Structure 1
Amino acid sequence: MTSAEVEQLAADPAVEGLILTGSHARGTATVHSDRDLVMIGPAHYARRTATLDVAVVTIEDLADTSDIWQRYAFRGAKTLVDRRSGQITDLVHRQATPTAQEAVTWAREGLDGYVNFLYRAAKSRRDDEHVAARLDEAESVSWLLLTVFALHGRVRPYNKYLRWELETYPLDPPWDATLPERAVANPASLFPAVEALARDQGHGDILDAWGDDLTLLR
C-alpha cells in the first residue's frame, strides 16, 4: 500500500482512528517492510498482505492494556487520524507507557524470573551440564530485558527494535546500545548491575528471598 492509499483510508469519515505502527512509524523500514496500521473503523478494512497489515479494533480494545506483549507495538506509533478529540492519541500513549505500579509489578516478576534461570544455569554448569546451562542462560534474556526496562519505567522492546529503543531513548550506563550483544553473549555478567539497580529501587527483598543460592550467581 502506498502513502496515497493510506491517505485515502484516513479520508474516510467512517474511520475514527488510524495509527501507524511498526518500522514505518519508527523510521527503520526497509524495502521488505510492510505498513502496519491499527484502525478504529469498518471491519471490512482488515487485511494482512505482504505490503499491508491493517488490524481493525474497537475503542475498548485500544483501551485494554492487559496484554503486556502487545503494548510495545505502540511505542513510537504515529496517530494519523483521531476523530475522538484526542482520545485515541491518549490511548496510544497509555499503551506505550506503563504506570508506576505496572512498572513495579513487571520489574519484580522479571527480576525473580531472571534470577531463577541464572540460578538454574549456574547449577547446570557446576554439574557439567553445559548444554542445559546455555539453554537456561538463553531463557534468562527475556526476563533480563523485562526487568531492565521495567526498572526504568518502560515497556520491554521487541527484539527487532531493541537497538532502536536504546539509541532513540537512551538509558543511563551500563544500559547502552551494546546491551543486545552483552545480553546474548553472557546474560549472567549483567547480574551485578541488575542487582544494584533493583536494590536501589527497593526490590532487594526479591533477591534476598534466594538466600545463599545467590552465591552461585556471584
Structure 2
Amino acid sequence: MDAFEDLLARAEADPAVVGLVLTGSQARGTATVHSDHDVHVVVRSRNERWHTTRRTAELDEIVSTLDELADTSDLWQRYAFRGARVLLDRLGGGVAALVERQAVPTEAEATAWARDALDGYLNLAYRAAKSRRDGNALAATLDERESVPWLLTTVFALHSRLRPYNKYLRWELETYPLPEPWTAAVFPARALRDPIGMFPDVARLARGRGHGDVLDAWGNDLALLNTYV
C-alpha cells in the first residue's frame, strides 16, 4: 500500500474525518512521474491524529478544519480547489459545497478583482508606453513583463473566474474555454509576448462588462497608450 492509499484507508476508518479532497495535478489529470498527491483532510477540529500538515515527495497530507475550508480570504490559495475531486464527504455534500465556494468567486468578488486588476494593468501599460515613447526600452520591457499578472487577473475576473496558477493556465483554458482572443491557442503566448498589445481587447471586454469608468478615469493618457500598442 502506498502513502496515498494508506491515507485514504486511515481517513475512511476514522469518523473524525468528515472529508477528503484531492487537489493539484492528480485531480486535474495532468500528473507526471514527478507529481505527488495533494490531499486535504477535513476535520471538525484538530486532534492527536489529525493535527499538522505533512509533506513528502509522494504525498502532501494537508489537515484543514471545516472553518478553514470555509475561509475564502486567502485569494491565492483558492485556485488550488479548481478541478478538485472530493473523495469523501460525510456532510452529505457539505464538503463539496465548501470546495466549490473556494473555486468559484461570487459576482461581487469578481467585480472587485476586475476593477482593481484593470487599473493595475492600465498603470503598467501606460508606464511602458511612456518608456517606449522616450526610447527607454529596458524600462518599457520590465513594465510590460510586470503587467502580465495584472492582465491575467483582469481577464479571468471579467469572466467571473479565478486567475489560474501559471502551471495550469493552459489546462484552465482548455477545460473551461473562454471566447476569442482568450483561448488556449492564443492567450497564454500573446500575454507573454505582447501584453500591452492586448490593451484594445481588454478595453472592449471591460467596457462590455460595465467597467468603462475605470478606463475613462485615465482620461487623455489612454490616447498615448493607444499610440504605442
Give the structure-1-normalised TM-score: 0.96
Give the structure 1 partner of residue 36 of structure 2. Answer: 34
Which position in structure 2 is the counterpart of 1:130? Answer: 137
CA distance in 1, matches of 2:52, 2:59: 11
> Residue 46 of structure 2 corresponds to which residue in structure 1?
none
Separation (CA, whole Å) in 1 of partners of 2:82 and 2:62: 16
| Residue identity in the other structure for 1:197 | L
Match of 1:56 among 63, 70, 74: 63
Residues in 1 aligned to 2:5 and 2:62: alpha-carbon distance in whole angstroms: 19
CA contact (8 A) 1:150 1:156 kept: yes
Q: Give 1:52 shift.
A: 1.0
DSSP 3-state at the match of 1:80: strand
CA-based RMSD: 1.3
- Cα deviations by residue, 1:48-83 (Å, 9 ceiling, x for unpaired): 111111211111111111111111000000111111
Per the alignment, residue 194 of structure 1 pairs with: 202
Give the secondary structure class of the aligned counterpart of 1:89. Answer: helix
Deviations, residues 95-141 of structure 1 (Å, cap 9, x unaligned): 00011111111110110011011111111111222111111111111
Task: Name the CA distance, whole Å, in 1 between partners of 2:206 and 2:7.
Answer: 44
Q: Normalising to structure 2: TM-score of the pair? A: 0.91
Instruction: Give the Cα separation in 2 of the matches to 1:59 and 1:7.
Output: 18
Q: Stretches of 4+ moved more than 6 A in 1?
A: none
Residue 20 (structure 2) pairs with residue 13 (structure 1)? no
Partners of 1:45 and 1:91 in 2: CA distance = 21
**Letter aligned with residue 27 of structure 1:** G
The answer to whether the Cα contact below 8 Å between 1:38 and 1:57 also exists between their aligned partners in 2 is yes
Task: Say whether residues 1:90 and 2:90 are aligned partners.
Answer: no
What's the counterpart of residue 224 of structure 2?
216
How many percent identity over aligned positions? Answer: 62
Does structure 2 conserve the Cα–Cα contact (< 8 Å) formed by 1:9 and 1:15?
no
Count of equivalent residues: 218
Instruction: Give the gaps of 5 or more residues in structure 2.
Output: 44-48
CA offset digits 1:173-213 (Å, max 9, x no partner) = 11100211100000011111110010011100000000111
CA distance in 2, matches of 1:120, 1:45: 45
How far does residue 3 in structure 1 lie from its aligned partner after superposition? 4.6
Kindly indicate whether the alpha-carbon contact (under 8 Å) linking 1:72 and 1:96 is maintained by their aligned counterparts in 2.
Answer: yes
Structure 1: 5+ residue stretches without partners: none
Measured in 2, the distance between the counterparts of 1:122 and 1:9 equals 58
Q: Shift of the alpha carbon at 1:6?
A: 3.8
Alignment of 1:176 with 2:178, yes or no, is no
- Residue 192 of structure 2 aligns with an amino acid whose one-letter code is V
Flag the structure with higher helix content.
1
Distance 1:54 1:2, change over 3 A: closer
Residue aligned with 1:174, SS: coil
Is the contact made by 1:96 and 1:155 (CA closer than 8 Å) also made in structure 2? yes
* Counterpart position of 1:145: 152
Deviation at 1:44, TM superposition (A): 4.1
Distance 1:145 1:193 in 2: 13
